[in-house]
Structure formats: structure tokens, C-alpha cells
Amino acid sequence: MTGHSFALFDTSIGRCGIVWGARGINGVQLPMGSEDKTRTRIRQSHGELAEAPPPAEVQRAIDGIVELLTGKPNDLADVVLDLDGVPEFNRGVYDIARRIPPGQTLTYGDIAKKLGGVE
């Protein structure tokens, strides 16, 4: 993943991680018990990435995640994701899941119906 970086950031549930590239966010990592474990997990999932200060658009995503984890209803809809290499099926699932309002749920069956265009 050339050109990708990551940063760790504090939240109400612990120190999380975020991975980004030129096209958007590639991943978020929940706390793993220690910073070293969180860094290790990120690198296991995304390769040997450089740790770097987040650019403004990534910092906005971090701010939204921090809000969401404190219970504020931030839907993170404005966060740009880099879905390069993500299979089309998964993209469809992500698109539906990202439209679930904070505090609401959909079952797997609900998502399957939406994927199939059946309401």
C-alpha cells in the first residue's frame, strides 16, 4: 500500500488507529490493549505503514469518530473511504450500512433485501 499512513488517536474507549491513503480512509482499528498492540494489528492488516500526523480530512474523520464514541449521533457520512480493491458485493453492503442512522440497526436479512432490491 504505497502512499498509505496511519495515526493513533485518543477516544473514550481507548487509543484507536486510522489508516488512510490519497483516496480516503482505508481502515480504523479499535484499541488492542496497548499502543504497541494496536500498531501491530494495523500493520498486520495493512502492511508496513508509516505513522504520520493526519491531514485535515483525516483529522475531521478522527473528530467524528471521537464524537460518535462519546455518544454523539455523528453518522460519519462525510468521511471519504478508499474502496479500491474492495469487491463490488462488499461495496454494496458498506453503502447500505453507512446509511443506517446512529442508534438504529438493520438485520443481515434487511441488508440482503436491500442488496437484492426487494423491500
Mean pLDDT of 36-59: 95
For strands 5-11 and 50-51, give the pairing.
parallel
Dist. CA 41–CA 98, nearest whole Å = 24
117, pLDDT greater than 80? no
The per-residue pLDDT for 17 is: 98
Mean pLDDT of 42-63: 95
CA neighbor of 12 nearest in space, from 93, 67, 54, 58: 67
Domains annotated on the chain, with CATH = 5-69 (3.30.160.70), 86-119 (no CATH)
1, pLDDT greater than 70? no
Mean pLDDT of 97-119: 85
92, pLDDT greater than 70? yes
pLDDT interval class at 62 (50, 70, 90) = very high
**What is the value of pTM for the model shown?**
0.84
Q: 3-state SS of the chain: helix, strand, coil percent to 5? A: 35, 20, 45
